[in-house]
């Protein structure tokens, strides 16, 4: 794995309740890092990294749900693609509704990912493919504003009611787009009590990490408009609008 060269220390200023997690997708077994010594679902791995506190990687035999199929370590079971499990678990009314969502998933080709490494940010020594952040709404607003601060990039949230791990990991990794979702909305993560409901889970792919990191260093995190109260904000907003309108009329 390529050693970490980016300075990601700015994220420690957030004082997140749980450490951000770096993720690396690997074709070959990594050296200098321990393999997970138990089985978990893919959606539980980031939480395991946060609770464990030391880096680890998992292989096919460590994953107990459909994550290994999403990663291309094995084929998706035909009963899953047929939508039968969603009906059996009473998530969907008919199999076709469950089956339909598979056309939207960013499935990885077979064999390109055989191992996935995880590390909390304070122990991160490799360049991550994804940076996973669990935040409250105020913290998430700052991170997402940092994405658009220098780019104007649109904020998007994509997910499905099941296979939430596909949107936390596969989608941002393959699309190169930042994704976020609210904990408690995905069936598996909710059923397995991965995170308390109502938090914002943000996935930042490798191509966005430098931009967001640099913008966090440059921009003002807490804007005056957020702290002055409604009435003062409305007065200042009106003043700015009037001044700008006059300037445009008399360039």
Q: What does the pLDDT read at residue 102?
A: 87
24 vs 28: CA distance, rounded Å = 11
**What is the percent of the chain with per-residue pLDDT over 90, rounded to a whole number?**
91
DSSP code at position 81: H
Residues paired with 133 in a beta bridge: 202
Q: What does the pLDDT read at residue 109?
A: 93
Q: Is the pLDDT of residue 126 over 90?
A: yes
Where does the pLDDT of residue 64 fall: very low under 50, low under 70, confident under 90, or very high at 90 and above? very high
The residue length of the chain stands at 251
Strands 179-182 and 200-205: antiparallel
Task: Kindly list the domain boundaries of the chain, sorted by start residue.
Answer: 9-219, 222-251
Tens digit of each residue's pLDDT (9 = 90 or more) over 196-228: 999 999 999 999 999 999 999 999 999 999 999
Q: Is the pLDDT of residue 251 over 80?
A: no
Q: Is the pLDDT of residue 37 over 90?
A: yes
Q: What does the pLDDT read at residue 119?
A: 98
206 vs 196: CA distance, rounded Å = 27
More confident position, 81 or 121? 121
Q: What does the pLDDT read at residue 116?
A: 98
Structure-block tokens of residue 97 = 């509704």
Cβ within 8 Å of residue 189, ≥6 positions away = 43, 164, 165, 183, 195
DSSP code at position 204: E
Q: What does the pLDDT read at residue 249?
A: 86
Q: Provide φ and ψ at 5, rounded to 5°.
A: -115, -20
Alpha carbon 30 to chain centroid, angstroms: 23
Q: Is the pLDDT of residue 146 over 80?
A: yes
Cα torsion angle, 49, 54, 57, 58, sign: negative
8 Å CB contact between 196 and 134 = no
Tens digit of each residue's pLDDT (9 = 90 or more) over 172-193: 999 999 999 999 999 999 999 9
Helix (H) or strand (E) holding 139: helix 137-148
Q: What does the pLDDT read at residue 131?
A: 98
Where does the pLDDT of residue 63 fall: very low under 50, low under 70, confident under 90, or very high at 90 and above? very high
Q: What does the pLDDT read at residue 229?
A: 92
């Amino acid at each position: 794995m390529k050693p970490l060269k980016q300075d990601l220390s700015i994220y420690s200023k957030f004082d997140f309740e749980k450490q951000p997690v770096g993720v690396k997708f690997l074709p070959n077994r990594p050296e200098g890092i321990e393999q997970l010594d138990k089985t978990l679902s893919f959606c539980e791995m980031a939480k395991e990294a946060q609770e464990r506190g030391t880096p680890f990687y998992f292989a096919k035999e460590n994953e107990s749900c459909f994550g290994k199929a999403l990663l291309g370590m094995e084929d998706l079971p035909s009963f899953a693609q047929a939508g039968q499990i969603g009906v059996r678990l009473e998530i969907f009314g008919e199999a076709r509704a469950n089956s339909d969502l598979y056309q939207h998933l960013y499935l990885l080709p077979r064999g390109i990912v055989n191992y996935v490494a995880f590390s909390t940010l304070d122990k991160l020594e490799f360049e991550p493919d994804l940076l996973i952040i669990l935040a409250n709404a105020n913290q998430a607003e700052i991170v997402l504003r940092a994405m658009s601060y220098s780019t104007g990039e649109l904020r998007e949230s994509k997910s499905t009611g099941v296979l939430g791990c596909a949107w936390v990991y596969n989608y941002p990794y393959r699309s190169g787009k930042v994704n976020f979702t609210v904990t408690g909305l995905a069936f598996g993560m909710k059923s397995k009590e991965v995170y308390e409901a109502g938090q914002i889970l943000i996935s930042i792919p490798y191509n966005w990490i430098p931009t967001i990191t640099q913008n966090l260093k440059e921009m003002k995190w807490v804007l005056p408009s957020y702290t002055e109260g409604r009435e003062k904000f409305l007065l200042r907003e009106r003043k700015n609008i009037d001044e700008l309108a006059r300037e445009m009329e008399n360039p």
